[in-house]
Amino acid sequence: MKEFFDSVPPLHDGGITLRRITREDASALAELAASPNVCRYLPTFLYEKKYTDIYRVIDGLYSECLEESLILGAFTDEGFCGLAEMYGYREPIHKISLGYRFLERCWGKGIATKVLGIMVDYLYTKTDVEIITASTMIENTASARVLMKNGFEMVVHAAGEDWGYGSPTIADKWIR
């Protein structure tokens, strides 16, 4: 995984920038990780929740975390708005999964749709990725709309997945 993401440049499009998180982004990242409304639709094992010290999280994002995923900060002109993640790269079949999460004040503004579009464009034009997948809790209809706007199709509805809770999380599976 590390080799795949070592050269990811900052990505820009239409007032949105995806770039590596720095220590200057700590307070906004801590706000995101602590938001119960954001976390209700997310797995329990996200990297930004792995450590209580947000600086420890930031320091590990581009060393130990790169073994499994690349997490980039999503920024508008107003500043940090959330995270965009590429994970689970499977080299033999050129497949990767995407995820995203945003501060509540950034919901409903089209930011998630643009961020996902930037990631999809990068993966299809600058890498050898051929298949992109995502999963959403069935209750997260806003995220489902973001995926549909970016050309994803639901391939499995209401499947049980391990998201780190006591029982399987009922999720929809998407592909592009």
> What is the reported pLDDT for 79?
96
Provide the 10 A C-beta neighbour count for residue 127: 15
Question: Any bridge partners for residue 155, and if so which?
Answer: none
The Cα 142–Cα 146 span in angstroms is: 6
- Please check the confidence at residue 105 and state whether its pLDDT lies above 80: yes
Reported confidence tier of residue 7, pLDDT bands at 50, 70, 90 = low
- Please check the confidence at residue 2 and state whether its pLDDT lies above 70: no
| Contact of 139 with 41, CB cutoff 8 Å | yes
Fold adopted by 2-135: Aminopeptidase (3.40.630)
Q: pLDDT per residue over 23-56, tens digit each? A: 999 999 999 999 999 999 999 888 888 899 999 9
Q: How far is CA 12 from CA 64, 89, 125, 129, 154, in A?
A: 25, 22, 14, 20, 28
Among 32-36, 43-47, 102-106, 118-122, the range scoring the smallest mean pLDDT is 43-47
Torsion 13-15-16-22 (CA) sign: positive
